[in-house]
Amino acid sequence: MNASLPTVAVIGGTGDLGSGLAWRWARAGYPVIVGSRVADRAAIAAAELKARTGKAVRGMENAAAATAADISVLTVPYANHQPTLETIKAALAGKILVDATVPLMPPKVSTVQLPPGGSVAVAAQAFLGQSVRVVSALQTVAAHKLQQDIIIQSDVLVAGDDAAAREAVIVLVAALGLKGWHAGVLANSVVAEAMTSVLIAINRRYKIDGAGLCITGEPTA
């Protein structure tokens, strides 16, 4: 563990996406906290990750995890998005929240169904207020691939109104073994939120095991 790295709390860290992110960040040397609605579940998941990585992963109830972290990453299902924000709002003041939530509405998960206002991340920013720097990222990465020790061919669109917060998340994305791209202001997060349903449709049509998004071209100075 590198003491100079920020502590990352994965809110909803017992799920497929959250546990995959927590494993990769812990393996990369980040201090990681697994958050859950139930502290005992968080502790069990943290113990499993500690055994797998040999790193000191902690488990806490969501609000406690957000309080102890420098950066929180929200990985809960859309149905739990607002209730979870309500429990961690006070703990996020002055910090970065990475919102990976996708507005999937079963059973039509392969159909784009954006929420009122157009974007989950924009709604989160409005609810949390300007003391929290909300950054949208990680919606288009297959959760089951994050669980495996493989190279993932998928880029990550990182959107947010604060450029420094976006850059901090770009660094976190790189620690996962992925390429992050500055994708502009938070309102642009609607693209990644909608793209997830499109990728699900592509997976089904072409029998792909987790299609990803890749940006072509090389940046120039």
Element (H, E) at 133: strand 133-136
At residue 36, the 3 state secondary structure works out as: strand
pLDDT of amino acid 3:
66
Q: Do the beta carbons of residue 171 and residue 137 sit within 8 Å?
A: no
At residue 17, the 3 state secondary structure works out as: helix
Q: Which domains does the chain have, with CATH numbers?
A: 8-206 (3.40.50.720)
Termini Cα distance of the chain: 33
pLDDT of amino acid 117:
87
Strands 71-74 and 58-61: unpaired
pLDDT of amino acid 2:
65
Question: What is the 8-class DSSP label of residue 171?
Answer: H
Per-state percent for the chain, helix, strand, coil, to nearest 5:
45, 15, 40
At residue 35, the 3 state secondary structure works out as: strand
pTM given for the model: 0.96
Per-residue tokens: 132: 């929290």
| Residue-by-residue pLDDT tens, the chain, 221 positions | 566 999 999 999 999 999 999 999 999 999 999 999 999 999 999 999 999 999 999 999 999 999 999 999 999 999 999 999 999 999 999 999 999 999 998 999 999 999 988 999 999 999 999 999 999 999 999 999 999 999 999 999 999 999 999 999 999 999 999 999 999 999 999 999 999 999 999 999 999 999 999 999 999 86
At residue 198, the 3 state secondary structure works out as: helix
Per-residue tokens: 155: 């880029």
- pLDDT tens-digit series, residues 194-209: 999 999 999 999 999 9
3-state SS track over 46-98: HHHHHHHHCCCCEEEEHHHHHHHCCEEEECCCHHHHHHHHHHHHHHHCCCEEE
